[in-house]
Chains A and B, each alone.
Chain A
Amino acid sequence: MSGLGWGLKSLGRHRLRTALSIAGIAVSAAMLLDMVMLSGGIEKSFAELLLAKGYQIRLTPKGTLPFDTDATLSGATELVTSIRRMPGIAAAGAVLGASLYGRRRDSLITLFGYGIQPEAQALYTVLSGGDLDPRDSIGVLLSLPAARVLQAQVGDTVTLVGRLDPQVVTAAVGRKVIVRGLVRWVYDYRDQPSVGTVLPVMQSLAGKTAGDQASLLMVRASEDTAAPAVAKTLRQRFPQVEVSSVADLVREFKQRLVYFRQLSYILGSMSLIVTVLLIATLLTITVNERLGEIATLRAIGISRATVVREVLLQGVSLTVVGSVLGILLGLVTARYLDSILTSFPGLPAAFSFFVPRRESLIRAALVLFLTGSLAALYPAWLASRAAIAAVLRAEAA
């Protein structure tokens, strides 16, 4: 059975109408794709960020998340040493985050400091120059924004100042350090001026030497699949410390951004409703306009199934063309929306809300295809139910 594609060809009969319908579907499809990306992108992007260097577990002060508060862990070095000895652990390193200042001529520039153990770090990638040696007490790594504000390059000496006394505006600790390298800090927000030294130096600058304090420990299990078991062991071994796997952190993060997830579901649903309404309305009106044609076709022996198929084909065609355009448009609007949301203060620059992935595209396309097909069902049913004699009588009148 073949309708010779009269359903499809009918779309070309009213070009403006068809073009507008496709435009409407495209915009809805774009919105749907963006919401699909948003709903899944947040946690995927965050998980990727956390696993950028393969460290699956974080240890933080009880009840806190990494860098969420100023609270610190005591006895960091001893803690790291005992963790490194545990079976199933590939690497462990302590990190201290602190506010400090860099001296540029007569002024003090606010900086964020990372105290690290370079032999086991997951915080940066060297862009130029070299890395710190674990025993390098006079070396510093700068982020590009830090290098810019301090007007320093690899090899230059900079002065870092810590424990500023607010009463007399003097620093208790100052230290000249040599820039070993320029790095990209994985968790920095955009334009964050960050510096990194070995842990003892930063502890000294931040006044956290007493108690050997660190903000968090990062742990890498030998096998990714063993990470949950390792986390469990660490919880049992160190009950006074908060042990979080990447899954735990992602879950917490999702909870904090639950609004966006819910918004994505609501807006995604609305997009589908608009698509359904548009296709159903267009096809219903088209069928009503062409009842005479349809009645004639039925009169000359064209089956209901053929009529239904041709109307469905119209709906599916509109959906497919609109969806393809919509997906392209959605990728563009996603970039724009992402640029808005990633300007959240304190959000790592490497993080994305809208992550274009194959599965997102496929999911959006499938949902659209099904929706468009369903939307065409009612008009197709209408067309198949056309009362031949009554319509022909009305046409003749």
Chain B
Amino acid sequence: MSPPVLVARDLRKDYPMYGQAVHALRGVSLEIAAGEYVAVVGPSGSGKSTLLQLIGGIDSPTSGTVEILGTVLQSLSDRELTRLRLTRLGFIFQRFHLLPVLTAQENVELPMAEAGVPREQRRARALELLGYVGLEHRARHRATQLSGGEMQRVAIARALANRPALLLADEPTGELDAATGHEILELFRQLNRDGTTLVVVTHDDRLAEQADRIIHMLDGHIVIPERAESSAVHGLPASTT
């Protein structure tokens, strides 16, 4: 059995707010295996997004550790952490957060440019990824010219740019209508079938239902880590891993 992609141990996160401490996470531990599709659900304020930010290295825990592919995030410098996010993780946000002045292709190229991938290579991969998400024909359109669903798909392509070991998504369908959300849902299913490890924070039951495991959170705790019936994991095509 391959080692887990992610190991989080006793994560705690407190925020100061109006002179008092808000306990967003109260000792959360979990492991995520390669190729797993994990959904994190719970009411607002349960700590879902905080958990995602901690395991993604965007924020640092008050106590506890996060290990990604054997590397303890808390032992890394800011530069090393940034590098890890660039090369080992992929992020998808509720509000897409594409750069409006760049085209869809340029948005996908951005992480590869940062990683030093040569221009021709990254252009080719960007187009390939846009093809994977069904938007090759929109490569030259600015992000502001895309619909919500298209923007989220571009964001997914961007997240896959440097072949991450782990994809983290925070309410990826939160800003989308039902039909568009369904497209994203299908895309995530495809990604997971192709071998991508996914952690998705969501209110969307449809997204949660297709996950291998659902983690319920409440008041900063994991309440019920359910394991759903999952389909077999297929390897991703060589060009997307």
User: 0/1 per residue, B90-117, Cβ < 8 Å to A?
Assistant: 1101110101111000100111011110
Residues in B whose Cβ lies below 8 Å from that of A129: none
Report chain A residues within 8 Å CB of B49: 392-393, 396
* B78 sits at the interface (CB 8 A): yes
Contacts of B89 in A (CB 8 A): 301
Q: Report how far A301 CA is from B158 CA in the complex, Å.
A: 11
Residues on B with C-beta less than 8 A from A395 are 95, 97
Question: Taking the complex as formed, is A12 at the interface, i.e. its CB lies under 8 A from any CB of chain B?
Answer: yes
Q: What total count of A-B pairs have CB within 8 Å?
A: 92
Mark the stretch among B53-61, B145-153, B209-217 that contacts chain A: B53-61
Q: Select B59's contact among A10, A13, A300, A389, beta carbons within 8 Å.
A: A389
Contacting B114 at CB < 8 Å: which of A9, A301, A388, A393? A301
Interface status of A16 (Cβ within 8 A of chain B): no
Give A3 to B113 CA distance when docked, in angstroms: 7
Q: Are A300 and B158 in contact (CB under 8 A)?
A: yes
- Interchain CA distance A34-B106 in the complex, whole Å: 43
A84 contacts chain B at the CB level, 8 A cutoff: no
Chain A interface SS verdict (over half): helix
Residue pair A292, B58 in contact (C-beta under 8 Å): no
Chain B contact residue count (CB 8 A cutoff): 38
A302:B95 contact, CB within 8 angstroms: no
Chain B: CB-nearest residue to A388 = B58
Distance, CA A359 to CA B31, complexed state (A):
67
- Given contacts A1-B113, A9-B101, are A300 and B53 in contact (CB under 8 A)? no
B170 x A301 contact (CB < 8 A):
no
The reply to whether the CB of A4 lies closer than 8 angstroms to some CB of chain B is yes
| Alpha-carbon separation in the docked complex, A396 to B79 (Å) | 26
Give Cα A304–Cα B86 distance, bound, in whole angstroms: 12
Alpha-carbon distance A306/B86, docked complex (angstroms): 13
A6 contacts which chain B residues (CB < 8 A)?
99, 101-102, 110
A395 to B102, CA, bound (A): 21
CB of A58 within 8 Å of the partner chain: no
> Complex Cα distance A3/B171, Å?
27
B86 near A301 with CB under 8 A, answer yes
B110 near A4 with CB under 8 A, answer yes
Q: B76 CB to closest chain A CB, in angstroms?
A: 13
Q: Could you give 8 example pairs across A and B, Cβ below 8 Å?
A: A4-B110, A6-B101, A13-B100, A301-B82, A302-B114, A306-B114, A389-B50, A393-B49
